[in-house]
Chains A and B, each alone.
Chain A
């Protein structure tokens, strides 16, 4: 499965939007882009996924670059409960999720 690159950490203020970037320059044409997040001392939870078009759900939005070599997870209004490690993962043919180091998001009140 192709690799992803994310910043180690980011900081946001409460009730402000957060844009979490992810680079995946070696993505293949059939890989889906999945985002999961892990709150402290919990298992990860699914956030969103997409292929080519931008996606919205109740948790977040996913903006995918036209060349698919990067994507951005958007939290429209960060809350303290959004403080977590966010993982960008490419879901390919192997049915495995290979977790990278993710981005640790800190939200300041």
Chain B
């Protein structure tokens, strides 16, 4: 399968600071990418969907001004958690997918564990 990397893998920050998480696909180009977060012992929750060159579509309850997504190219997307607070501590996972066919599979990054003190 395709290889997706995330950087950093782990980050600890102080409350009120902003954190940028980078997601790269290393061996393919994808039109659509997704950001998820996962709290301890819970399932993945989709945060937003974005297509290269256009604005992200956020799921209900996810603040677009707090979680800034930049889908800069077909191989790179970034998620910035602005003014992070302890309740934003979570495991953030990106994935790359196809244009929307029901047979499309998603390729996930290894995740970034964010801890906000």
Q: Does the CB pair A99–B44 fall under 8 Å?
A: yes
**A2 contacts the other chain (CB 8 A):** no
- Secondary structure of the A side of the interface? loop
User: Per a CB cutoff under 8 Å, which of A38, A41, A46, A93 touches B106?
Assistant: A46
User: In chain A, what residue has the closest Cβ to B92?
Assistant: A43
User: In chain A, what residue has the closest Cβ to B46?
Assistant: A96
Please, which residues of chain B bring their CB within 8 A of the CB of A93? 102
Partner-contacting stretch, out of B14-22, B76-84, B93-101: B93-101
User: In chain A, what residue has the closest Cβ to B111?
Assistant: A43
Interface extent on B, as a size class?
Answer: 20 to 34
* CB proximity to B under 8 Å, residues A54-106: 87, 91-93, 95-102
Q: In the complex the two chains form, what is the Cα distance from A100 to B46 in whole Å? A: 11
Given A45-B1, A46-B1, A99-B43, A91 contacting B104 (CB threshold 8 A): yes
**A44 contacts the other chain (CB 8 A):** yes
Please, which residues of chain A bring their CB within 8 A of the CB of B100? 95
Q: Does the CB pair B32–A41 fall under 8 Å?
A: no
**B105 contacts the other chain (CB 8 A):** yes
User: Per a CB cutoff under 8 Å, which of B34, B44, B108 touches A45?
Assistant: B108
Please, which residues of chain A bring their CB within 8 A of the CB of B105? 34, 46, 49
User: Per a CB cutoff under 8 Å, which of A91, A92, A100 touches B43?
Assistant: A100
**A14 contacts the other chain (CB 8 A):** no
User: Per a CB cutoff under 8 Å, which of A32, A36, A43, A101 touches B103?
Assistant: A32
Please, which residues of chain B bring their CB within 8 A of the CB of A31? 102
Q: Does the CB pair B95–A32 fall under 8 Å?
A: no
Q: Which residue, of B98, B106, B107, B108, has the highest number of chain A Cβ atoms within 10 A?
A: B106
Can you name 13 A-B residue pairings with CB atoms under 8 Å?
A32-B102, A38-B44, A41-B113, A43-B4, A43-B111, A45-B108, A49-B103, A92-B102, A96-B34, A97-B34, A97-B106, A98-B46, A99-B43
Question: 8 nearest interchain CB pairs?
Answer: A43-B108, A95-B100, A32-B102, A99-B44, A46-B105, A99-B43, A43-B93, A91-B102
